[in-house]
Chains A and B, each alone.
Chain A
């Protein structure tokens, strides 16, 4: 519920920002964005109301000790909890990986990223992690760079 409410507030924020920004544009340029900003804000408010009503229904069912056999439908369905201990480190690692690519190059950063994550998470044995890191980087090089000539910064470059 909280993520939905947070998103609703964020959506209203986006609508306000876009609406204000569009106010200074010529009429033809601001027409659709302003209309959409109003629609987004309205739907976000409706979503907040819907979430509150669902929460109240869930609380009512919980208070009456009704069996949670899914008969309450979406009102009783509780999403799986976020595994923060896995999510946050992984997300930070991804951010660091992308930040370092322009500095250290794709061919160095990618196998380090793959190897690092697989070793720390202990998802596979160390030798398998090395094989996956080298294999995956090699495949991407072969397909995207050698075959398709996509210009990706491969090695450490000066900015």
Chain B
């Protein structure tokens, strides 16, 4: 069964229609990634409504291709403008810009492109092998285990997100609470609708997504409208890397790709974490670490391989478990949900054709990424010159049409603006918005599995202690919350002191 689904997925991904939309997604992703101030998640949120009228596999292929190529696109601004186009390209600035400053912008972009290609291909292969394996295991899970996984997912995302873990957990909890708005699936009771018929079907996930990710960005760009903008470096040298240089950098790219995949697997960590981790490891393994920060090719290859490899890694828990590995994959889950495909164990069985088409698209998108990257990199620096206010108003206009398109209802547009304002205030307060989005996605799963679990346990909460798998997940969830609190730091500090005084007294006795 799996083999035939893999073959069907490949055949679907290779259809002319899907190839066209994959290429389109790649082109849009490179442009969006190159624009400073925009993120892949924001672009995905804005273009999600575009996929409503497309077949599910086509829409998802386009979104996945966009996600992958935006990771490369971010390096364009990082290298020529010294400003990362996406957060995942922040580490690329360190060596990319110095290389561009000495007249080798083309070489820097070529290294970035080939590193992105390697990272993307490795991550596609990992997704193709790990997701089905994990998916088979998940079929053995019941509501109790799924509740535990969802709890683990939200706690990890909350504690590992940028900034304070308390803020991350608060954001996630608020998202879960907002997800309970609408009809209760068990009793049919309208919850928190405040007699507004528009809220009976709950808060549309896409509306919240567009509001939380796009509007704050538009407001921030409007604030920066008068700020001084750096002039981009020109590309006057060769972009396509020489084979010799590529082979020298290949071990670094492969190691960084593995780092990216593993980082992507962990909910709450994304391209930025992977790229910094890979950069540090590349520096550690380098024969001349002092060269890093001065335009070392390895300092470009490492983060770019890692941030592209994150894509496949983050899709593994999304596809296999229904737990988004990052905010971008939460959007991709939204893309599944709008087509009536509920993420979870059935993705690889009942909806196997769509899922394997998506997996193959992640792998195949690397081909147009490399070709378009080579062909249009010189042209794409034009994108970095677009004034922030033009980008800001474009985001607003797209957000309005996108949120209206969901239910043809102006209420959704106002709701989107409400979430936008909330997202802006959250960002100013240093509270990450990604956990809120993931809370909105996981809320229904958590609610259903909690009720089902308590039904199985005849109303007793001890049902969660009857499953060893659930116990393990819940313990990890508790530990991930505790490790972020001062209590744990105090305990670890005490333990360290006790060990140090113990070894010091042993040395004294000796």
Q: How far is the CA of A148 from the CA of B47 in the complex (A)?
A: 12
Inter-subunit contact A97/B396 (CB<8 Å): yes
Closest to B226 in A: A86
Inter-subunit contact B429/A33 (CB<8 Å): no
Inter-subunit contact A101/B417 (CB<8 Å): no
Number of A-B contacts (CB under 8 A): 161
Closest to A36 in B: B177
Given the known interface contacts A14-B174, A136-B394, the answer about A90 and B219 at a Cβ–Cβ threshold of 8 Å is yes
Q: Is B414 an interface residue (CB 8 A)?
A: yes
Interface residues on chain B, size class = 35 or more
- Chain A residues with CB under 8 A of B413: 98, 101
Closest to B420 in A: A94
Q: Give residues of chain B (122-177) contacting chain A, Cβ–Cβ below 8 Å.
A: 163-164, 166-167, 169-170, 173-174, 176-177
- Chain B residues with CB under 8 A of A106: 401
B interface footprint on A109-129 (CB within 8 Å = 1, 0 otherwise): 010011001100101100000
Inter-subunit contact B50/A26 (CB<8 Å): no
A interface footprint on B416-445 (CB within 8 Å = 1, 0 otherwise): 010001000110111100000000000000
Q: How far is the CA of A136 from the CA of B176 in the complex (A)?
A: 36
Given the known interface contacts A7-B431, A82-B428, the answer about A132 and B390 at a Cβ–Cβ threshold of 8 Å is yes
Closest to B176 in A: A36
Chain A binder among B183-191, B269-277, B307-315: B183-191
Q: How far is the CA of A143 from the CA of B402 in the complex (A)?
A: 11
- Chain B residues with CB under 8 A of A149: 53
Given the known interface contacts A28-B186, A74-B163, the answer about A3 and B428 at a Cβ–Cβ threshold of 8 Å is yes
Q: How far is the CA of A101 from the CA of B400 in the complex (A)?
A: 10
Inter-subunit contact A39/B223 (CB<8 Å): no
- Chain A residues with CB under 8 A of B401: 106, 140, 144, 150, 152
Inter-subunit contact B392/A90 (CB<8 Å): yes
Q: What's the nearest-Cβ distance from chain A to residue B382, in Å?
A: 14
Inter-subunit contact B405/A47 (CB<8 Å): no
Inter-subunit contact A117/B389 (CB<8 Å): yes
Q: Is the interface of A mostly helix, strand, loop or mixed?
A: helix
Q: Is A29 an interface residue (CB 8 A)?
A: yes
Q: Give residues of chain A (59-103) contacting chain B, Cβ–Cβ below 8 Å.
A: 74, 79, 82-83, 86-87, 90-91, 94-95, 97-98, 101-102
- Chain A residues with CB under 8 A of B430: 4, 74, 79
Inter-subunit contact A29/B173 (CB<8 Å): no
Q: Give residues of chain B (40-55) contacting chain A, Cβ–Cβ below 8 Å.
A: 49-50, 52-53
Contact of A152 among B404, B426, B446 (CB under 8 A): B404
Inter-subunit contact A47/B389 (CB<8 Å): no
Q: What's the nearest-Cβ distance from chain B to residue A21, in Å?
A: 6
Q: Is B222 an interface residue (CB 8 A)?
A: yes
Q: How far is the CA of A121 from the CA of B200 in the complex (A)?
A: 40
Q: What's the nearest-Cβ distance from chain A to residue B390, in Å?
A: 6
Q: Is B337 an interface residue (CB 8 A)?
A: no
- Chain B residues with CB under 8 A of A143: 50
Q: Is A40 an interface residue (CB 8 A)?
A: yes
Q: Is B393 an interface residue (CB 8 A)?
A: yes
Q: How far is the CA of A83 from the CA of B189 in the complex (A)?
A: 44
Q: Is B103 an interface residue (CB 8 A)?
A: no
Q: Is B11 an interface residue (CB 8 A)?
A: no
Q: How far is the CA of A124 from the CA of B392 in the complex (A)?
A: 13
Given the known interface contacts A43-B166, A87-B223, the answer about A140 and B398 at a Cβ–Cβ threshold of 8 Å is yes
Q: What's the nearest-Cβ distance from chain B to residue A142, in Å?
A: 12
- Chain B residues with CB under 8 A of A21: 191-192
Inter-subunit contact B392/A4 (CB<8 Å): no
A interface footprint on B208-251 (CB within 8 Å = 1, 0 otherwise): 00000000000100111110000000000000000000000000
Inter-subunit contact A32/B446 (CB<8 Å): yes
Q: Is A52 an interface residue (CB 8 A)?
A: no
Q: Give residues of chain B (360-392) contacting chain A, Cβ–Cβ below 8 Å.
A: 387-390, 392
Q: Give residues of chain A (1-37) contacting chain B, Cβ–Cβ below 8 Å.
A: 3-4, 6-7, 11, 14-15, 18, 21-22, 25-26, 28-29, 31-33, 36-37
Q: How far is the CA of A74 from the CA of B167 in the complex (A)?
A: 13
- Chain A residues with CB under 8 A of B447: 32
- Chain B residues with CB under 8 A of A18: 177, 180, 192
Inter-subunit contact A123/B390 (CB<8 Å): yes
A interface footprint on B27-51 (CB within 8 Å = 1, 0 otherwise): 0000000000000000000000110
Inter-subunit contact A28/B414 (CB<8 Å): no
- Chain B residues with CB under 8 A of A14: 174, 177
Q: Is B1 an interface residue (CB 8 A)?
A: no
Q: Is B510 an interface residue (CB 8 A)?
A: no
Contact of A3 among B164, B224, B425 (CB under 8 A): B425
Q: How far is the CA of A47 from the CA of B426 in the complex (A)?
A: 13
Q: Is B201 an interface residue (CB 8 A)?
A: no
Q: How far is the CA of A64 from the CA of B226 in the complex (A)?
A: 35
Q: How far is the CA of A55 from the CA of B164 in the complex (A)?
A: 14
Inter-subunit contact A87/B431 (CB<8 Å): no
Q: How far is the CA of A151 from the CA of B398 in the complex (A)?
A: 15
- Chain A residues with CB under 8 A of B426: 7
Inter-subunit contact B173/A7 (CB<8 Å): no
Q: How far is the CA of A22 from the CA of B446 in the complex (A)?
A: 17
Task: Give 14 A-B contacts (CB < 8 Å), ordered by A residue.
Answer: A18-B192, A21-B192, A22-B191, A25-B187, A36-B173, A36-B176, A43-B173, A50-B164, A87-B219, A98-B410, A136-B397, A144-B50, A148-B53, A150-B49
In the complex, the 9 A-B pairs of residues with the closest C-beta atoms, listed nearest first:
A123-B389, A83-B223, A29-B184, A3-B429, A4-B429, A43-B170, A29-B189, A90-B222, A36-B177
User: A residues engaging B (CB < 8 A)?
Assistant: 3-4, 6-7, 11, 14-15, 18, 21-22, 25-26, 28-29, 31-33, 36-37, 39-40, 43-44, 46-47, 50, 74, 79, 82-83, 86-87, 90-91, 94-95, 97-98, 101-102, 106, 110, 113-114, 117-118, 121, 123-124, 132, 136-137, 140, 143-144, 148-152
